[in-house]
Amino acid sequence: MKKILYYILFLTILPACEDQLDITPKGKTILNTVTDLETLLNQEYYLGGGPIEDLSTICNEAYSHMSSISDILANQNTLDYAYLTYDETIDRALLTPNDTRYSQLYKYINYMNVILDKLEDAEGDDSRKEKVEAEARIMRAYLHWLAVNIYAAQYDEATAAESGGIAYVTDTDVFKRKDKQTIAKVYEQILADCDEKYIAQLPDAAPNVARGGKAWGNAVRAKVLMQMKKYEEALPYALKSIEYNGQIEDRSVIKEIGAWTLTQDVENNLMYIMGSIPGLPLGEILSAETAALFETGDYVKDYTNGAMGDGAWSSMYGTMLGNAMGCLMYLDFSGNVFINAYGITSDRMYYTAAECYIRTGEIDKGLELVDRVRARRIEACQPFQGTAADEKTAMALLQKAKWIECISTYENFFDSKRWNSEADYKRTITRDLITLDGDSYSYSLAPDSPLWIFPFPNDARSHNESLTLNY
Protein backbone atom coordinates (compact mmCIF):
# COMPACT_ATOMS: atom_id res chain seq x y z
CA MET A 1 0.00 0.00 0.00
CA LYS A 2 2.73 2.47 0.95
CA LYS A 3 4.71 1.82 -2.24
CA ILE A 4 1.59 2.23 -4.36
CA LEU A 5 0.74 5.54 -2.71
CA TYR A 6 4.27 6.86 -3.17
CA TYR A 7 4.22 5.87 -6.85
CA ILE A 8 0.94 7.69 -7.46
CA LEU A 9 2.22 10.79 -5.70
CA PHE A 10 5.55 10.67 -7.53
CA LEU A 11 3.73 10.79 -10.85
CA THR A 12 1.78 13.85 -9.74
CA ILE A 13 4.86 15.81 -8.65
CA LEU A 14 7.26 14.85 -11.45
CA PRO A 15 6.08 17.41 -14.03
CA ALA A 16 6.39 20.22 -11.48
CA CYS A 17 10.01 19.31 -10.75
CA GLU A 18 11.30 18.96 -14.30
CA ASP A 19 11.62 22.69 -14.98
CA GLN A 20 13.47 23.59 -11.78
CA LEU A 21 16.45 25.80 -12.47
CA ASP A 22 19.79 24.26 -11.62
CA ILE A 23 22.75 26.28 -10.35
CA THR A 24 26.35 25.19 -10.78
CA PRO A 25 28.12 24.53 -7.45
CA LYS A 26 30.45 27.49 -7.83
CA GLY A 27 27.60 29.88 -8.52
CA LYS A 28 28.88 30.45 -12.08
CA THR A 29 25.77 31.31 -14.03
CA ILE A 30 24.76 33.31 -17.07
CA LEU A 31 22.26 35.31 -15.03
CA ASN A 32 23.33 38.82 -15.99
CA THR A 33 20.11 40.83 -15.81
CA VAL A 34 17.65 41.52 -13.01
CA THR A 35 15.04 39.61 -15.00
CA ASP A 36 17.35 36.60 -15.24
CA LEU A 37 18.10 36.68 -11.52
CA GLU A 38 14.44 36.97 -10.67
CA THR A 39 13.88 33.56 -12.25
CA LEU A 40 15.60 32.09 -9.19
CA LEU A 41 12.68 33.37 -7.12
CA ASN A 42 10.21 31.52 -9.34
CA GLN A 43 10.68 28.23 -7.54
CA GLU A 44 8.33 25.39 -6.73
CA TYR A 45 9.93 24.97 -3.32
CA TYR A 46 10.28 21.31 -2.39
CA LEU A 47 12.21 20.25 0.70
CA GLY A 48 12.12 16.51 0.13
CA GLY A 49 11.72 15.69 3.81
CA GLY A 50 8.20 15.92 5.12
CA PRO A 51 7.31 16.95 8.66
CA ILE A 52 5.01 13.95 9.04
CA GLU A 53 7.99 11.64 8.60
CA ASP A 54 9.79 12.80 11.73
CA LEU A 55 8.82 16.16 13.25
CA SER A 56 5.20 15.08 13.67
CA THR A 57 6.23 11.81 15.29
CA ILE A 58 8.54 13.49 17.80
CA CYS A 59 5.86 15.87 19.08
CA ASN A 60 3.27 13.04 19.10
CA GLU A 61 1.07 14.53 16.43
CA ALA A 62 1.42 11.21 14.62
CA TYR A 63 2.80 7.69 14.90
CA SER A 64 4.06 7.33 11.35
CA HIS A 65 3.48 7.94 7.70
CA MET A 66 1.73 4.85 6.27
CA SER A 67 3.70 2.45 8.46
CA SER A 68 2.50 -0.09 10.98
CA ILE A 69 3.83 0.48 14.50
CA SER A 70 4.51 -3.25 14.69
CA ASP A 71 6.82 -3.02 11.68
CA ILE A 72 8.60 -0.04 13.21
CA LEU A 73 8.99 -1.74 16.60
CA ALA A 74 10.43 -4.85 14.90
CA ASN A 75 13.39 -2.86 13.49
CA GLN A 76 15.07 -1.23 16.45
CA ASN A 77 18.17 0.30 14.88
CA THR A 78 16.27 2.83 12.76
CA LEU A 79 15.31 6.47 12.97
CA ASP A 80 11.62 5.54 12.83
CA TYR A 81 12.07 3.37 15.92
CA ALA A 82 13.89 6.15 17.77
CA TYR A 83 11.12 8.63 16.98
CA LEU A 84 8.23 6.31 17.82
CA THR A 85 9.69 4.98 21.08
CA TYR A 86 11.56 8.12 22.12
CA ASP A 87 14.74 6.05 22.41
CA GLU A 88 17.60 8.48 23.14
CA THR A 89 20.23 5.71 23.12
CA ILE A 90 20.01 5.16 19.37
CA ASP A 91 22.82 6.87 17.46
CA ARG A 92 20.73 9.04 15.18
CA ALA A 93 23.78 10.71 13.67
CA LEU A 94 25.11 7.34 12.52
CA LEU A 95 21.73 6.64 10.90
CA THR A 96 21.75 9.96 9.03
CA PRO A 97 24.29 9.61 6.21
CA ASN A 98 22.41 12.31 4.31
CA ASP A 99 19.32 14.44 4.77
CA THR A 100 17.39 15.67 1.75
CA ARG A 101 15.59 18.36 3.74
CA TYR A 102 18.91 19.79 4.96
CA SER A 103 20.46 19.79 1.49
CA GLN A 104 17.36 21.29 -0.10
CA LEU A 105 17.24 24.10 2.46
CA TYR A 106 20.83 25.02 1.68
CA LYS A 107 20.30 24.60 -2.06
CA TYR A 108 17.60 27.27 -1.98
CA ILE A 109 19.73 29.40 0.33
CA ASN A 110 22.42 29.21 -2.35
CA TYR A 111 19.89 30.38 -4.95
CA MET A 112 19.20 33.44 -2.80
CA ASN A 113 22.92 34.08 -2.40
CA VAL A 114 23.48 33.89 -6.14
CA ILE A 115 20.84 36.58 -6.58
CA LEU A 116 22.35 38.81 -3.90
CA ASP A 117 25.91 38.26 -5.14
CA LYS A 118 25.19 39.18 -8.75
CA LEU A 119 22.46 41.76 -8.32
CA GLU A 120 24.61 44.88 -8.00
CA ASP A 121 26.30 44.34 -11.37
CA ALA A 122 23.20 43.04 -13.15
CA GLU A 123 21.57 45.05 -15.90
CA GLY A 124 18.17 46.44 -15.04
CA ASP A 125 16.11 49.01 -13.19
CA ASP A 126 17.42 49.89 -9.72
CA SER A 127 13.95 49.89 -8.16
CA ARG A 128 13.38 46.39 -9.43
CA LYS A 129 16.76 45.37 -8.01
CA GLU A 130 15.61 46.55 -4.59
CA LYS A 131 12.46 44.43 -4.76
CA VAL A 132 14.35 41.32 -5.88
CA GLU A 133 16.96 41.86 -3.17
CA ALA A 134 14.28 42.23 -0.51
CA GLU A 135 12.53 39.00 -1.47
CA ALA A 136 15.81 37.07 -1.67
CA ARG A 137 16.92 38.32 1.76
CA ILE A 138 13.64 37.48 3.46
CA MET A 139 13.56 34.03 1.87
CA ARG A 140 17.16 33.48 3.00
CA ALA A 141 16.07 34.45 6.52
CA TYR A 142 13.07 32.11 6.44
CA LEU A 143 15.03 29.10 5.17
CA HIS A 144 17.70 29.56 7.86
CA TRP A 145 14.91 29.95 10.45
CA LEU A 146 13.47 26.59 9.44
CA ALA A 147 16.92 25.00 9.65
CA VAL A 148 17.90 26.40 13.06
CA ASN A 149 14.65 25.20 14.61
CA ILE A 150 15.17 21.67 13.33
CA TYR A 151 18.93 21.21 13.78
CA ALA A 152 19.52 23.28 16.92
CA ALA A 153 17.96 23.90 20.31
CA GLN A 154 15.07 26.24 20.90
CA TYR A 155 16.07 29.90 21.15
CA ASP A 156 16.46 31.01 24.76
CA GLU A 157 17.86 34.45 25.46
CA ALA A 158 19.81 33.26 28.51
CA THR A 159 21.74 30.58 26.60
CA ALA A 160 21.59 31.60 22.93
CA ALA A 161 25.03 33.21 22.92
CA GLU A 162 26.66 29.89 23.94
CA SER A 163 24.37 27.35 22.26
CA GLY A 164 25.37 25.85 18.94
CA GLY A 165 23.24 26.79 15.97
CA ILE A 166 23.76 26.31 12.25
CA ALA A 167 25.87 27.80 9.48
CA TYR A 168 24.34 31.05 8.24
CA VAL A 169 25.47 31.08 4.62
CA THR A 170 25.70 34.43 2.82
CA ASP A 171 28.11 33.71 -0.04
CA THR A 172 28.45 31.37 -3.02
CA ASP A 173 32.09 30.34 -2.46
CA VAL A 174 31.99 26.55 -2.21
CA PHE A 175 35.66 26.43 -1.15
CA LYS A 176 35.04 28.58 1.92
CA ARG A 177 34.03 26.64 5.03
CA LYS A 178 30.67 27.73 6.39
CA ASP A 179 31.26 27.68 10.13
CA LYS A 180 28.47 26.86 12.53
CA GLN A 181 27.45 29.91 14.53
CA THR A 182 25.70 30.31 17.86
CA ILE A 183 21.93 30.45 18.00
CA ALA A 184 22.16 34.11 19.00
CA LYS A 185 24.27 34.96 15.95
CA VAL A 186 21.98 33.03 13.63
CA TYR A 187 18.90 34.86 14.88
CA GLU A 188 20.72 38.18 14.66
CA GLN A 189 21.31 37.55 10.95
CA ILE A 190 17.79 36.24 10.39
CA LEU A 191 16.34 39.44 11.84
CA ALA A 192 18.70 41.55 9.72
CA ASP A 193 17.59 39.74 6.56
CA CYS A 194 13.86 40.21 7.31
CA ASP A 195 14.23 43.81 8.45
CA GLU A 196 11.35 46.24 7.96
CA LYS A 197 13.22 48.03 5.18
CA TYR A 198 13.11 44.84 3.11
CA ILE A 199 9.49 44.06 3.94
CA ALA A 200 8.59 47.58 2.71
CA GLN A 201 10.08 46.76 -0.72
CA LEU A 202 7.78 43.75 -1.27
CA PRO A 203 4.62 44.19 -3.36
CA ASP A 204 1.35 44.70 -1.51
CA ALA A 205 0.08 41.48 -3.10
CA ALA A 206 2.28 38.59 -4.21
CA PRO A 207 1.96 37.51 -7.87
CA ASN A 208 1.53 33.87 -6.82
CA VAL A 209 1.91 31.59 -3.79
CA ALA A 210 5.60 30.92 -4.46
CA ARG A 211 6.51 34.61 -4.44
CA GLY A 212 6.62 36.98 -1.50
CA GLY A 213 4.34 39.92 -0.81
CA LYS A 214 4.03 42.13 2.25
CA ALA A 215 1.73 39.63 3.98
CA TRP A 216 4.49 37.01 3.75
CA GLY A 217 7.30 39.39 4.74
CA ASN A 218 5.46 40.53 7.85
CA ALA A 219 4.53 36.92 8.65
CA VAL A 220 8.17 35.81 8.51
CA ARG A 221 9.27 38.49 10.96
CA ALA A 222 6.31 37.75 13.23
CA LYS A 223 7.12 34.04 13.35
CA VAL A 224 10.81 34.66 14.00
CA LEU A 225 10.08 37.01 16.89
CA MET A 226 7.44 34.72 18.36
CA GLN A 227 9.85 31.77 18.27
CA MET A 228 12.24 34.00 20.23
CA LYS A 229 9.36 34.47 22.74
CA LYS A 230 9.25 38.17 21.99
CA TYR A 231 5.46 38.19 21.86
CA GLU A 232 4.91 41.93 22.17
CA GLU A 233 7.34 42.63 19.32
CA ALA A 234 5.85 39.90 17.11
CA LEU A 235 2.24 41.03 17.42
CA PRO A 236 2.23 44.11 15.14
CA TYR A 237 3.89 42.15 12.33
CA ALA A 238 1.35 39.34 12.64
CA LEU A 239 -1.51 41.84 12.53
CA LYS A 240 0.05 43.64 9.56
CA SER A 241 0.33 40.32 7.72
CA ILE A 242 -3.38 39.65 8.30
CA GLU A 243 -4.14 43.20 7.16
CA TYR A 244 -2.49 42.52 3.80
CA ASN A 245 -4.00 39.04 3.44
CA GLY A 246 -6.58 37.87 5.94
CA GLN A 247 -8.06 35.08 3.80
CA ILE A 248 -9.36 32.09 5.75
CA GLU A 249 -10.10 28.82 4.01
CA ASP A 250 -13.83 28.14 4.37
CA ARG A 251 -14.36 24.42 4.97
CA SER A 252 -18.11 24.67 5.58
CA VAL A 253 -18.68 23.70 1.92
CA ILE A 254 -17.40 20.23 2.79
CA LYS A 255 -20.72 19.47 4.48
CA GLU A 256 -22.56 20.01 1.22
CA ILE A 257 -20.25 18.20 -1.19
CA GLY A 258 -18.64 15.61 1.10
CA ALA A 259 -15.14 16.38 -0.12
CA TRP A 260 -12.26 18.65 0.90
CA THR A 261 -10.49 20.68 -1.77
CA LEU A 262 -7.35 22.63 -0.89
CA THR A 263 -5.20 23.44 -3.90
CA GLN A 264 -1.64 24.75 -3.88
CA ASP A 265 -2.65 28.13 -5.26
CA VAL A 266 -5.31 29.08 -2.70
CA GLU A 267 -5.18 32.72 -1.63
CA ASN A 268 -4.50 31.91 2.03
CA ASN A 269 -1.10 30.41 1.12
CA LEU A 270 1.29 33.29 1.74
CA MET A 271 4.20 31.10 0.62
CA TYR A 272 3.76 27.49 -0.46
CA ILE A 273 6.64 25.12 0.35
CA MET A 274 6.11 21.42 -0.15
CA GLY A 275 7.53 18.69 2.06
CA SER A 276 8.48 15.25 0.79
CA ILE A 277 5.29 14.48 -1.11
CA PRO A 278 2.32 16.40 -2.43
CA GLY A 279 -1.14 15.68 -1.14
CA LEU A 280 -0.49 15.86 2.59
CA PRO A 281 -2.01 14.79 4.95
CA LEU A 282 -2.47 11.65 2.84
CA GLY A 283 -1.12 8.66 4.75
CA GLU A 284 -0.46 10.40 8.06
CA ILE A 285 -1.41 8.14 10.98
CA LEU A 286 -2.40 10.41 13.83
CA SER A 287 -1.67 9.44 17.42
CA ALA A 288 -4.58 8.54 19.67
CA GLU A 289 -3.82 11.68 21.66
CA THR A 290 -4.12 13.90 18.57
CA ALA A 291 -7.23 12.08 17.33
CA ALA A 292 -8.93 12.93 20.63
CA LEU A 293 -8.40 16.68 20.04
CA PHE A 294 -10.82 17.00 17.11
CA GLU A 295 -13.86 19.06 17.99
CA THR A 296 -17.32 17.66 17.30
CA GLY A 297 -18.54 18.96 13.98
CA ASP A 298 -15.09 19.30 12.41
CA TYR A 299 -15.90 19.59 8.72
CA VAL A 300 -12.91 17.55 7.50
CA LYS A 301 -13.21 14.76 10.05
CA ASP A 302 -16.99 14.46 10.26
CA TYR A 303 -18.21 15.34 6.76
CA THR A 304 -15.66 14.10 4.20
CA ASN A 305 -16.48 10.86 2.40
CA GLY A 306 -12.90 9.64 2.11
CA ALA A 307 -11.53 7.02 -0.26
CA MET A 308 -13.02 3.94 1.37
CA GLY A 309 -16.31 5.22 2.80
CA ASP A 310 -15.00 5.67 6.34
CA GLY A 311 -14.29 9.39 6.16
CA ALA A 312 -11.04 10.98 5.06
CA TRP A 313 -9.73 10.68 8.61
CA SER A 314 -10.40 6.96 8.78
CA SER A 315 -10.43 5.13 12.09
CA MET A 316 -10.73 1.81 10.27
CA TYR A 317 -7.62 2.30 8.13
CA GLY A 318 -5.81 4.07 10.92
CA THR A 319 -6.28 1.02 13.10
CA MET A 320 -5.62 -1.54 10.36
CA LEU A 321 -2.61 0.04 8.65
CA GLY A 322 -1.22 1.68 11.75
CA ASN A 323 -1.91 -1.42 13.88
CA ALA A 324 -2.74 0.86 16.79
CA MET A 325 -5.98 1.49 18.62
CA GLY A 326 -7.53 4.94 18.65
CA CYS A 327 -5.56 6.46 15.78
CA LEU A 328 -6.76 7.96 12.51
CA MET A 329 -5.27 7.83 9.01
CA TYR A 330 -5.99 10.32 6.23
CA LEU A 331 -7.00 8.41 3.12
CA ASP A 332 -8.38 10.30 0.14
CA PHE A 333 -7.07 9.72 -3.37
CA SER A 334 -8.86 12.67 -4.96
CA GLY A 335 -5.60 14.60 -5.21
CA ASN A 336 -7.36 17.80 -4.25
CA VAL A 337 -5.77 18.49 -0.86
CA PHE A 338 -2.32 20.06 -0.52
CA ILE A 339 -1.38 21.08 3.02
CA ASN A 340 1.29 23.79 3.07
CA ALA A 341 3.91 21.75 4.94
CA TYR A 342 6.81 24.20 5.31
CA GLY A 343 5.31 27.47 4.13
CA ILE A 344 3.08 30.06 5.78
CA THR A 345 -0.67 30.51 5.56
CA SER A 346 -2.85 33.42 6.58
CA ASP A 347 -5.04 31.01 8.57
CA ARG A 348 -2.12 30.03 10.77
CA MET A 349 -1.04 33.66 11.07
CA TYR A 350 -4.29 34.27 12.97
CA TYR A 351 -3.00 31.82 15.58
CA THR A 352 0.34 33.64 15.72
CA ALA A 353 -1.41 36.95 16.39
CA ALA A 354 -3.81 35.26 18.80
CA GLU A 355 -1.07 33.80 20.97
CA CYS A 356 0.79 37.12 21.00
CA TYR A 357 -2.39 38.85 22.17
CA ILE A 358 -2.91 36.26 24.91
CA ARG A 359 0.73 36.47 26.05
CA THR A 360 0.46 40.24 26.33
CA GLY A 361 -2.70 40.23 28.42
CA GLU A 362 -5.36 40.79 25.75
CA ILE A 363 -7.01 37.40 26.12
CA ASP A 364 -10.35 38.07 24.46
CA LYS A 365 -8.72 39.70 21.44
CA GLY A 366 -6.61 36.59 21.02
CA LEU A 367 -9.48 34.14 21.38
CA GLU A 368 -11.60 36.16 18.96
CA LEU A 369 -8.95 35.57 16.28
CA VAL A 370 -8.94 31.85 17.07
CA ASP A 371 -12.73 31.84 16.75
CA ARG A 372 -12.54 33.44 13.31
CA VAL A 373 -10.67 30.38 12.04
CA ARG A 374 -12.67 27.85 14.06
CA ALA A 375 -15.93 29.24 12.66
CA ARG A 376 -14.80 27.99 9.24
CA ARG A 377 -13.62 24.65 10.58
CA ILE A 378 -16.36 23.55 13.00
CA GLU A 379 -20.10 23.29 12.43
CA ALA A 380 -22.09 25.20 15.08
CA CYS A 381 -18.79 26.41 16.54
CA GLN A 382 -19.07 27.49 20.18
CA PRO A 383 -16.89 30.59 20.67
CA PHE A 384 -13.86 30.56 22.96
CA GLN A 385 -14.02 34.32 23.37
CA GLY A 386 -15.28 35.27 26.82
CA THR A 387 -14.67 31.83 28.35
CA ALA A 388 -11.12 32.26 29.69
CA ALA A 389 -10.25 34.44 32.68
CA ASP A 390 -6.49 33.96 32.60
CA GLU A 391 -3.61 33.33 30.23
CA LYS A 392 -3.12 29.63 30.95
CA THR A 393 -6.81 28.82 30.39
CA ALA A 394 -6.78 30.77 27.13
CA MET A 395 -3.56 29.09 26.03
CA ALA A 396 -5.06 25.65 26.63
CA LEU A 397 -7.93 26.52 24.29
CA LEU A 398 -5.58 27.90 21.64
CA GLN A 399 -3.17 24.98 21.86
CA LYS A 400 -5.90 22.39 21.32
CA ALA A 401 -7.40 24.16 18.31
CA LYS A 402 -4.07 25.09 16.74
CA TRP A 403 -2.78 21.51 17.01
CA ILE A 404 -5.53 20.28 14.69
CA GLU A 405 -5.20 23.32 12.41
CA CYS A 406 -1.48 22.61 11.90
CA ILE A 407 -1.53 18.88 11.21
CA SER A 408 1.04 17.82 8.57
CA THR A 409 3.15 20.97 9.00
CA TYR A 410 6.25 21.92 10.97
CA GLU A 411 4.16 24.12 13.29
CA ASN A 412 3.30 21.65 16.06
CA PHE A 413 6.93 20.60 16.40
CA PHE A 414 8.19 24.19 16.51
CA ASP A 415 5.48 25.23 18.98
CA SER A 416 6.22 22.27 21.24
CA LYS A 417 9.93 23.18 21.35
CA ARG A 418 9.10 26.78 22.21
CA TRP A 419 6.51 25.91 24.86
CA ASN A 420 8.92 23.39 26.39
CA SER A 421 11.32 26.22 27.15
CA GLU A 422 8.72 28.04 29.26
CA ALA A 423 7.99 26.95 32.81
CA ASP A 424 4.22 27.38 32.51
CA TYR A 425 3.87 25.33 29.33
CA LYS A 426 6.59 22.67 29.28
CA ARG A 427 5.30 19.11 29.38
CA THR A 428 6.48 15.55 29.25
CA ILE A 429 4.79 13.72 26.37
CA THR A 430 3.45 10.28 27.21
CA ARG A 431 2.59 8.05 24.28
CA ASP A 432 0.46 5.01 25.12
CA LEU A 433 0.17 2.46 22.32
CA ILE A 434 -2.15 -0.54 22.14
CA THR A 435 -1.85 -2.83 19.10
CA LEU A 436 -4.65 -4.84 17.52
CA ASP A 437 -3.20 -7.90 19.26
CA GLY A 438 -3.66 -6.23 22.62
CA ASP A 439 0.03 -5.52 23.27
CA SER A 440 0.55 -2.25 25.09
CA TYR A 441 3.53 0.11 25.16
CA SER A 442 4.21 3.39 26.88
CA TYR A 443 6.93 5.88 25.95
CA SER A 444 7.78 9.30 27.37
CA LEU A 445 9.63 12.31 26.00
CA ALA A 446 10.99 14.99 28.34
CA PRO A 447 10.92 18.70 27.40
CA ASP A 448 14.73 18.79 27.28
CA SER A 449 15.25 15.51 25.42
CA PRO A 450 17.97 15.52 22.74
CA LEU A 451 15.37 14.13 20.34
CA TRP A 452 14.03 17.66 19.90
CA ILE A 453 17.26 18.44 17.98
CA PHE A 454 18.04 16.67 14.73
CA PRO A 455 21.60 15.69 13.77
CA PHE A 456 23.43 17.30 10.91
CA PRO A 457 23.79 14.71 8.11
CA ASN A 458 27.12 12.91 7.91
CA ASP A 459 27.81 14.04 4.35
CA ALA A 460 27.72 17.67 5.54
CA ARG A 461 29.73 16.97 8.71
CA SER A 462 32.43 15.13 6.78
CA HIS A 463 33.20 18.31 4.84
CA ASN A 464 32.77 20.74 7.71
CA GLU A 465 34.24 19.90 11.11
CA SER A 466 32.50 22.91 12.69
CA LEU A 467 29.16 21.13 12.31
CA THR A 468 29.31 19.36 15.65
CA LEU A 469 26.03 17.92 16.90
CA ASN A 470 23.91 20.31 18.91
CA TYR A 471 22.77 17.74 21.48
Per-residue pLDDT of 171-230, as tens digits, reads 999 889 999 999 999 999 999 999 999 999 999 999 999 999 999 999 999 999 999 999
410 three-class SS: coil
Q: Does residue 16 register a pLDDT over 70?
A: no
Determine the Cα–Cα distance for residues 348 and 345; give it in Å rounded to an integer: 5
Per-residue pLDDT of 445-467, as tens digits, reads 999 999 999 999 999 999 999 99
Q: Does residue 376 register a pLDDT over 50?
A: yes
- What is the predicted pLDDT for the residue at 236? 98
- What is the predicted pLDDT for the residue at 403? 98
Per-residue pLDDT of 127-156, as tens digits, reads 999 999 999 999 999 999 999 999 999 999
- What is the predicted pLDDT for the residue at 279? 84
Query: How much is the average pLDDT of 151-178?
Result: 96
Cis peptide, bond prior to residue 281, ω within 30 of zero: yes
Query: How much is the average pLDDT of 7-26?
Result: 38
Q: Does residue 334 register a pLDDT over 90?
A: no
Per-residue pLDDT of 283-327, as tens digits, reads 999 999 999 999 999 999 999 987 777 789 999 999 999 999 999
Query: How much is the average pLDDT of 11-31?
Result: 43
- What is the predicted pLDDT for the residue at 20? 32
Average predicted confidence (pLDDT) for the chain:
93
Per-residue pLDDT of 72-93, as tens digits, reads 999 999 999 999 999 999 999 9
- 46 band by pLDDT with thresholds 50, 70 and 90: very high
- 29 band by pLDDT with thresholds 50, 70 and 90: low
Contact 453, 153 (CB under 8 A): yes
Determine the Cα–Cα distance for residues 143 and 21; give it in Å rounded to an integer: 18
Residue of higher predicted confidence among 27 and 132: 132
Q: Does residue 19 register a pLDDT over 90?
A: no
Determine the Cα–Cα distance for residues 207 and 336; give it in Å rounded to an integer: 22
- Note the pTM of the prediction, 2 decimals: 0.94
Per-residue pLDDT of 222-258, as tens digits, reads 999 999 999 999 999 999 999 999 999 999 999 999 9
Query: Domain boundaries in the chain?
Result: 26-252+340-461
Q: Report the CATH architecture of 26-252+340-461.
A: Alpha Horseshoe (1.25)
